[in-house]
Amino acid sequence: MSSKCIRDTVNKVKAKYQESDPYRLAAAMHIIVKKLPLGTDPNCCKGFCMRECRKTCIVINCDLPEIIQQIILIHEIGHALLHQKPLQIKCFHDFELFDGVSQCEYEANCFAADYLLEDEDVLEMLNADMSFFQAAAELKVPPELLDFKFRMMKRSGVQIVDSPITSNSDFLKDIPTSGIIENY
């Protein structure tokens, strides 16, 4: 799937629902969201999405910090919108698809980054002479998510510096599962 297609999907969802909060967006889309304790072990499941009988359900690990839960939720909403046919076959979750090269995970990360971060906000941070990592902290997102936003902006023609990191599709599997995340 092209970055243009992902960006078009983001724009359509934003225009239709006019909702920036992932939980309210899921409710507006009639997506069932369940928060379950799935552990704090580094290899624990962070979340997954499944579709059965025309109902979409997303499960989020409530043991994660709230800001990470929101990122996982919008990532899973990306799966629900971008990968409807595979969802009917099996659910997406980090045990199966966080392999570093999964195209579906890459696309869901691009969707999450483009949905959560406005181009103007990213450019404002960079024009304020903030470093990439300072901008990520100010935007309250992991640097890896900002890297995905940079990719989306570049592919849409925005003149922007290169990201100092190159994130893998599986970056969410390594997100801290306990303690306070000071930079987010």
Confidence category of residue 43, pLDDT binned at 50, 70, 90: confident
Residues 107-165 pLDDT 10s: 999 999 999 999 999 999 988 989 999 999 999 999 999 999 999 999 999 999 899 99
pLDDT for the residue 18: 97
Decide if 83 contacts 75 (C-beta within 8 A).
no
pLDDT for the residue 180: 43
pLDDT for the residue 42: 81
- C-alpha closest to that of 106 among 171, 173, 155: 171
Query: Which tokens sit at 155?
Result: 């592919």
Does residue 125 come out as left (phi exceeding 0), alpha (psi in the -120 to 50 range) or beta? alpha
| CB burial string 23-41: b at 16+ within 10 A, e below | bebbeeeebebebeebeee
From CA 3, how far away is CA 108, in angstroms rounded?
A: 11
Q: What is the 3-state secondary structure (H, E, C) of 28-83?
A: HCCCEEEEECCCCCCCCCCEEEEEECCEEEEEEECCCCHHHHHHHHHHHHHHHHHC
